[in-house]
Amino acid sequence: MAPVRILLVEDDRSIASSVVEGLEAAGFAVTHVGNGADALTAAEHDLILLDLGLPDMDGRDVCRELRQRTKAPIIMLTARSEEFDRVLGLELGADDYVTKPFSLRELVARIRAVARRTFDNTQPDEPAPAQSIGPLRLDRRTRRVHLDGTEVQLTAKEFDLLAFLAGDIGAVRTRTEILENVWDAHWYGPTKTVDAHVASLRKKLGAHEWIQAVRGVGFRLEPPE
């Protein structure tokens, strides 16, 4: 099996050097660019690691542009740990984020989790019929979502979250269940990651009521009345 091809967008050469070395040792194929302009003209990759603090462009603008050009999952590398910045990044199309400083072990775990959820869910020999939930149509085989006939552009992680909640309409899923099934069984990051993705997904679906919060428990998916 060919290694996952990663595009690393990082202007700090010392950080980039250590990340490239560590990821290649973990079995990934890594291409490094040091600014937003080069990231936007780079060849297609399987996954993108995007630092938000770039010298020529705001990393959030780069994220937005990349999402319009590629379906490859994007993991943000950011020193901005505030919830607002994380939610904004996810709304712009990122699939996950890692806050600096981070360990190589954490980064590799995040990459593998995102890659596993993105690529393993598209096996052609597994039946995955389209599902209709009111005006929403979710097709697991093609990983496409339509609302009232119009396609909704979701990140890989947003699709996985929606598909998991749609697996049992009306059932309440705890944050732990969601993290274990949509992220990774050995996830050790904050559960606020779920809330951030739910907020982004609600916005794209156009109605807060699609995903209802059950205080102290988790979330459930139901079509708005």
| pLDDT reported for residue 127 | 42
- Say how far apart CA 99 and CA 147 lie, in whole Å: 33
| pLDDT reported for residue 124 | 42
Q: Is the peptide bond before 73 cis (omega within 30 degrees of 0)?
A: no
Domains and CATH numbers, the chain: 5-121 (3.40.50.2300), 127-221 (1.10.10.10)
Q: 213, 201 in Cβ contact below 8 A?
A: no
Residues in a beta bridge with 100:
none
How far does CA 65 lie from the centroid of its chain?
Answer: 15
Q: 4, 28 in Cβ contact below 8 A?
A: yes
* Verdict on whether the full-model pTM lies above 0.85: no
Residue type, 224: P
| pLDDT reported for residue 86 | 61
* Block mean pLDDT (10 aa), the chain, length 225: 88 93 92 96 94 91 90 85 61 80 85 78 51 90 90 90 90 86 62 84 92 91 86
Residues 6 or more apart whose CB falls under 8 angstroms from that of 4 comprise: 28, 29, 46, 47, 111, 115
Residues 6 or more apart whose CB falls under 8 angstroms from that of 83 comprise: 192, 196
- Say how far apart CA 6 and CA 51 lie, in whole Å: 13
Cα–Cα distances (Å) from 135 to 72, 149, 223, in that order, read: 27, 8, 8
Antiparallel, parallel or unpaired: β 211-214 and 218-221 = antiparallel
Residues in a beta bridge with 159:
none
| pLDDT reported for residue 178 | 87
